[in-house]
Amino acid sequence: MIERIPELVNHDPAIVRWGRHMNETFMVEVGDQQYLLTVREGRVESVTRGPFVMRAWRFAIRAKKDCWEKFWQKVPAPGWHDLFALLRRGDVTFEGDQRVLMAYLLYLKLVLAAPRRLAA
């Protein structure tokens, strides 16, 4: 699912507009699988699948695979619908420069929720 984020985000002008000042690389960890997402001016330039050794990223968002699967359902159940709901449950962790994460929080929420459009 996460590999399809560039097409989902880059074809949605509203999401791109929210991230138009973001130029960062960040990590999303889905279970044991790591992904680096590079964003340039709100467009997801690349999604690179790990594992990584000594690759730079600004912040990381990590959760178990089953948590992301529940988060990416077309209509997630209460408690699975938002990154902060997952954080409150203890199912997701944020690492690294959280100032950048918070500065682009709405954009990141929209980017990470974009795979819901692919759910059945």
Residue-level pLDDT at 57: 93
Residue ranges making up the domain that contains 61: 2-118
**Residue 30 near residue 36, CB atoms below 8 Å:** no
CATH assignment of the domain containing 78? 3.30.1050.10
Average pLDDT of the residues of the chain = 92
Q: How far apart are CA 54 and CA 67, in angstroms?
A: 26
| pLDDT tops 90 at residue 110 | yes
pTM: 0.90
Alpha carbons 70 and 7: distance in angstroms, whole number: 21
Number of domains comprising the chain: 1
Type of residue numbered 44: V
Instruction: State residue 119's pLDDT score.
Output: 78
pLDDT tens, residue by residue, 17-54: 999 999 999 999 999 999 999 999 999 999 999 888 87
Proportion of the chain above pLDDT 70, given as a percent: 99
Structure token pair of residue 79: 């408690």
